[in-house]
Structure formats: C-alpha cells, structure tokens
Structure 1
Amino acid sequence: MDSTDQALIALLRQNARWSVADLAHKLGVSRGTVTNRMRRLEDDQVIVGYTVRLRPEAEPERIRAWMGVLVEGNQTRQVIASLLGEPGVSALHDTNGRWDLLAELEVRSMGELSQVLERIRLISGIRSTETSIHLSSYR
C-alpha cells in the first residue's frame, strides 16, 4: 500500500458512502484510479466490507461490553475457537499487556449478558476475565 491507498482508506473510514467522484476529487486523482485501487484493495482483502456505524444511543436495547481474557498456558487456540463460537461475542482481538484476548460482547439485555458471562466462565483454558460495560462514546 502506498500513501494514496492509505489516504483512500482514511477517507472511506470517515464516510464509506462518498462517491468515487468525491473520493477522486479529495485525493486529487482520477475516478478510474479510485475505482481501480478500491477493486485491488477489495481483491487483496485489505477492504473486507463496508458497514454502517450507529451511535450506541441509536440502539438503546443493545448492551455492549468488553471482556479481557487471561488464558492458561498454551491453550490460546482452543480458547479462541470457543469464544468465536459464542453468539454473544461480536469480535475477538489478540492483545498484549495484562490480557491475552479482548472480546467485544453485544447482547440485548442484562439477563442475556449474564448468560454469556456464565457460558464463557465454563470455557476450559480461561484463567480469569474482567468485563466492563460500555456506558457512552465520545467519538
């Protein structure tokens, strides 16, 4: 990826609905250049999809939380496989620092969150977890 690809991705992160003409104008390149670069980035799976981001307040019935996960020994692969099979886990990240993994949780109620946490506690290979509930976002 060169600086034009990086600038294109930055613009798409701001607004993935900008037209090719708008993107080309902002980048100072032709529409064909933007189209070709987007196609290549998609083919290379640098860009794997486009989505809508909603403010958390737009979905008040959703509860979001983050869970730090400490894995016992060398059981990371098994724990990852188990967490990816958990419907309450919307994303899973490998991290450094205090926690081995960071799981993003998304549920419809506190009762459902309790059930997800209970199922995760039963996963073999997890030494400990810490969960923080999302309260508000500022950006």
Structure 2
Amino acid sequence: MDEVNLRLLAELQRDPRMSMSELARRVGMSAPAVTERVQRLEAAGVIRGYRLEVDPAALGLPVAAVVRIRPGPGQLTRVADAIRATPQVVECHRVTGEDCFVLAVHAPSIPELESILDVFLMYGQTTTSIVVSTPVPARPLPLPAWGA
C-alpha cells in the first residue's frame, strides 16, 4: 500500500460517489491512472464495495438493538442459518467468549423485536440491549500513515 493508494482511499472514504476525474484532480493524477489504481484496489479486495446509508427510522424501523446469542449444544449451524434468514439482522459477528454471535437488529416496534428474538430462542439464549443513541456512528477505517 503506497502513499498514492492511501490518498485515494482517504478521498473515497470521504466521498465514495465522486467521479474518477474529481478523484484524479484531488490527488494530482490523470483520470485513467486513478481509474486503473482504483480497479486494482477493487480486484485485490482492498475496496470491497460502495454502500448507501439509509436512516432505519425513515423506513419505519426505529428500534435498534444489539443482540448476543449463545447457541445451545449442537445448535451453532441452526443459529447461523436463522440469522442469515432474518432480514432485520443488518450485521452479524461470530465472536469469542460466552456468546457466539453479536447482531445488530432493526425493528418497527418492541413487539416485532420480540418476534424476531423468539426465532433465536429456539436454538439458544439471547441477551438484548436496546440502542438509545449512537455517539459514534459508522465511520471509515483509520488509514495507516504513509511510511509507518
């Protein structure tokens, strides 16, 4: 990862929708050279995608929760399958410790959240925390300093 790639990533993290010509202008390169570098970063898996952020509350999903799941014996695969089949789960991590999964879930109401949780209760224990605020929203990864 050279300095130019780090500068490209920094600019794209600030505005992933900018044109290649604008990106080229910001880093002082030609648009074809920038396009080639970005394509190489994509092909190498450094840039995994571009995403749209939507306010869940604006879509009628104002209840956000963090759910930890501890599967019962032999239920790990069933829990993972249930998580994948639940569209209200927007993020899932397999973790170490007493719990095996940590989920981010959005629901239209507390009763609907309860219905979502009931699916997982068939396979193990859940611990749920309702999100009351988000002091640090999703943000870009810190990029290493050039030469570090």
The equivalent residue for 1:83 is: 83
| Counterpart position of 1:110 | 110
Counting matched residue pairs gives 135
* TM-score after normalising by structure 1: 0.74
Counterparts of 1:133 and 1:3 in 2: how far apart (Å)?
41
Q: Is the 8 A contact 2:93 2:101 kept in 1?
A: yes
Q: Distance in 2 between matches of 1:91 and 1:65?
A: 11
Which aligned pairs between 1:120-135 and structure 2 lie closer than 5 A? 120-122=120-122, 124=123, 126=124, 128-135=125-132
Deviation at residue 45 of structure 1 after TM alignment: 4.3
Q: Which amino acid aligns with 2:47?
A: I
Gapped regions of structure 2 (runs ≥ 5): 137-148
Question: How large is the RMSD of aligned CA atoms in angstroms?
Answer: 2.7
Q: Shift of residue 32 of structure 1?
A: 1.7
Report the equivalent of 1:61.
60
> Which amino acid is 2:60 matched to?
E
Instruction: Give deviations 1:75-114, integer Å, cap 9, x for gaps.
Output: 5344222211123212211223453221111222222111
Write the letter of the residue equivalent to 1:59: A
How far is the alpha carbon of 1:66 from its aligned partner? 1.3
Query: What do residues 9-30 of structure 1 show as CA deviations (whole Å, max 9, x unaligned)?
Result: 3332222112222322333333
**Closer, same or farther in 2 for the Cα pair 1:68/1:35, shift >3 Å?**
same
Note the residue ranges of structure 1 that are not aligned, 5 or more in a row. none
Partner amino acid for 2:117? L
